[in-house]
Structure 1
Amino acid sequence: MVNTINTVTKAFNNKAFTKLSESIKTYKTRWLITAILLITMSIYSNPQSFVNLWLSRDQQAMLMVEREEFGKAALTFSDQHWIAYSYYANGEFLQAANVFAQIPGKQALFSQANALMHAGNINLAIARYEKLLEINSQHAKALHNLAVAKKLAENQVKTQSKGGQGPSPDNAVEMSEEELAKIKAKQQKKQPPLTGEMWLQQVDQNPTKFLQNKFQQEYVDANR
């Protein structure tokens, strides 16, 4: 009799345990499906919130740089160097110059001068190159760009004194590498003096090398 009761009790317990296990599995499955649906709906309704949850502002901005969305990147970065670079790469030279002005160091001063050149503020660019050369009189690129800036300013004065308008910095910036190569070839053949546009094209336009080498490596190291 006792054995029969034990057998029945054991069978009942096994059945109850199996039923409980199935209930738990069903609950887990329903919870998982609900969670997936909620996450999916969240992504579609507010994708930016989902991105903000997983990526920092600088990480998001770096993705924008990779997609060459420099204008958006400039407004997203929190790092001043990358903000300046993004403005520069987007052709917003005055904004880039303003940000570079807030960054200490010789390279930032050099990049600020370059940005001012391409923004058309030649005289202020000359002042910045000269300030840099007071710190480092052997800065080869600053010496070169200062000579370019002074020649451009001289050409503008001559052009304006004849009643015309000076060359457009924007047009100079848009010159292709092929055109610049032709200009340099003409120089070597002692052709007539370069125009203002040609001179401006010789200015180191893009601080990408400085920024990408220095700050992209820091960014990679910090996120390993």
Structure 2
Amino acid sequence: MIGDFHFLRPWWLLAILAAALLVFLITRRGDARTRWKDLIAPHLLDRLLIDQQSRRRWQPVHFVALVIALGGLAAAGPAWQRQQPPFVEDKAPLAFVIDLSATMDAIDITPSRLERVKLKVQDILKQRPGARTAVFVYAGSAHMVLPLTDDASLVNTYVGALQTRIMPVAGKNTAKALTAAEQGLAREDVPGTILFFTDGIEPAAGAAFKRPAGNNEILVLGVGTEEGGPVKTGEGQYLSDGTGRVLAKLDVAQLRDFGRDTGIAVATITPDDSDVRWVTQRIRTHLQARLAEGQMRWRDAGWWLTLPLTLLSAFWFRRGWSVQWFFAAALLGGLLLPGKAEAADRSFIDLWLTPDQQGRLAFDKGDYARAALHFEDPMWRGVALYRAEQYGAALDAFAQLRTPESFYNQGNVLAHLDRLDDAAASYNEALKARPDWPEAKANLALIEKLIKERKEDEEEAAQGPNLKPDQIQFDEKSGKGKSTEVDLAQETADMWMRTIEITPTDLLARKFAIEAEGVKP
């Protein structure tokens, strides 16, 4: 244990030198002998100086220096023990990376390659109750479906909604998918696992898998058969190349070569649960190996020094012991305590306000675009985006919740997007849960009126060619183009993301398309 003792941030030990220098300068400035030695003879100076003992007493500067030194020592992060994971050995983070290229619709395994992957995901989740799981998908582009979450039902909902048609870029870019998954696990303190479900890895991706993946292990589970099968594109329709149906085959030999060249563990999907057991065992073994190697964060023991720092700071209130700049020194010492030093890369306000609190401050000032960047609560983020007139992004934020308020707000956004039928459907969903909601009733009535007027206009436009040439008809219908402004419900920050039941497949398709264009939703 003594041999493991070290400082996590040793540069803060310079504060000890600064404290010693402070004592030296203040003591030298207050030394009467030093001030008068050039003006009074030494044998006379000894007789003139009084209260020699008082100079040896503890002075305020000594306490200030001690506070600075202890604060520097605490901020340096003394450590000699490793942090253990806050969960059992089979709860390591796991990222599913699912191939959604067109060949994943091949039916050489029933009901199809992609559908079999969905079943395997369910089986793996059952083996890891309470564990955190993320989901990524890729074809020619790579996208995050879900960040790490311990909600297995949410993962199953999103994975169940996956279709190859939602990918905006055709092809297969496995290297880009690996980068996205690594970024998703980058902030994890505990070693995790990245599991690929794919029916093939392009040779160009080999270089990306040869570089280190940090503490994360990469697994590849091949999906398909060597005999292959036709690729289904619709009901009774199959992919063809002009000479007949395309037969998608799993190149098992190429996968094995890939595993041998990169050192990545590779297996193929099986009809039974042996592949699931292989995955869960690899996850458990990897975490145990990393724990044995000490690949865990060191436990910062500097916070124990806050106790003596607090006691020493009490001397500031003693009469005659005040130092004018002591409060500034104490504040500086407090900011340099463990945890604060680790957050040195964050802005000062992050030390005092949560992202939602920062968002509310910007919201109250009318800076809605900036507020949306801070809000983590989907409802508040959606409100801010709505006020900033970013209706597409606001719709995505509200769609993360399934409360009456979220449906109501979705209706408001859809009305601004001129999607009147969808807006009416959202208001109806809100009224199912809150039948006596007057604002929702009023907005629904207005939208239904606009829909009716639009249909009448379309019918009149369709009858236009039958009018006599000398007949002129003016549309004087009132209410056309009428706009309305409705207030969004003010919601507190206690709403959490729940499973989305409103066409999650189409929602993901929209999200991926926007991301592929380089615009964040």
Under TM normalisation by the shorter chain, which class is it? 0.5 to 0.7
- Corresponding residue number in structure 1 for 2:355: 57
**Structure ranking higher in helix proportion:** 1
- Corresponding residue number in structure 2 for 1:215: 492
Please, which of 42, 56, 67 is the counterpart of residue 17 of structure 1?
56
State how 1:150-161 maps to structure 2 within 5 Å.
150-159=448-457
Separation in 1, partners of 2:332, 2:411: 53
1:132-161 CA distances to partner (integer Å, 9 max, x unpaired)? 344444443333222211221233344456
- Corresponding residue number in structure 1 for 2:472: none
Separation in 1, partners of 2:451, 2:422: 11
Please, which of 419, 427, 431 is the counterpart of residue 121 of structure 1?
419
Higher relative contact order (CA 8 A, sep 6+): 2
- Over 3 Å counting, the alpha-carbon distance change for 1:12 and 1:155 in structure 2 is same
Letter in 1 for 2:375: F
Letter in 1 for 2:479: T
Letter in 2 for 1:21: Q
- Corresponding residue number in structure 1 for 2:385: 87
Separation in 2, partners of 1:22, 1:60: 39
- Over 3 Å counting, the alpha-carbon distance change for 1:49 and 1:143 in structure 2 is closer
1:19-45 CA distances to partner (integer Å, 9 max, x unpaired)? x63863895879967888999xxxxxx
Letter in 2 for 1:60: Q
Separation in 2, partners of 1:21, 1:193: 88
Please, which of 367, 370, 381 is the counterpart of residue 72 of structure 1?
370
Q: CA deviation at 1:194?
A: 3.0
- Over 3 Å counting, the alpha-carbon distance change for 1:50 and 1:159 in structure 2 is same
Please, which of 397, 400, 408 is the counterpart of residue 99 of structure 1?
397
Separation in 1, partners of 2:405, 2:61: 66
Instruction: Name structure 1 gaps, 5 residues minimum.
Output: 1-7, 40-45, 164-191, 219-224
Give the count of matched residue pairs.
166
State how 1:200-211 maps to structure 2 within 5 Å.
200-201=483-484, 205-207=486-488, 210-211=489-490
Letter in 2 for 1:50: F
Q: CA deviation at 1:65?
A: 0.8
- Over 3 Å counting, the alpha-carbon distance change for 1:152 and 1:25 in structure 2 is same
Question: Does 2:479 match 1:195?
Answer: yes
Instruction: Indicate the SS of the match to 1:55.
Output: coil
- Over 3 Å counting, the alpha-carbon distance change for 1:13 and 1:107 in structure 2 is same
Separation in 1, partners of 2:433, 2:324: 69
Instruction: Compute the TM-score of the two structures, normalised by the length of structure 2.
Output: 0.27
- For the 8 Å contact 2:404–2:429, the answer to whether it is kept is no
Instruction: Indicate the SS of the match to 1:196.
Output: coil
Letter in 2 for 1:215: T
- Over 3 Å counting, the alpha-carbon distance change for 1:143 and 1:30 in structure 2 is closer
**Structure ranking higher in strand proportion:** 2
1:82-140 CA distances to partner (integer Å, 9 max, x unpaired)? 11111122122232222222212212211211111112111111122233344444443
- Corresponding residue number in structure 1 for 2:443: 145
Separation in 2, partners of 1:97, 1:148: 20
- Corresponding residue number in structure 2 for 1:109: 407
CA-atom RMSD in angstroms: 3.9
Letter in 2 for 1:206: D
Letter in 1 for 2:389: G
Instruction: Indicate the SS of the match to 2:486.
Output: coil
- Over 3 Å counting, the alpha-carbon distance change for 1:37 and 1:85 in structure 2 is same
Separation in 1, partners of 2:448, 2:385: 25
Tell me the percent identity: 22
Instruction: Name structure 2 gaps, 5 residues minimum.
Output: 1-46, 69-322, 336-343, 463-475, 495-521
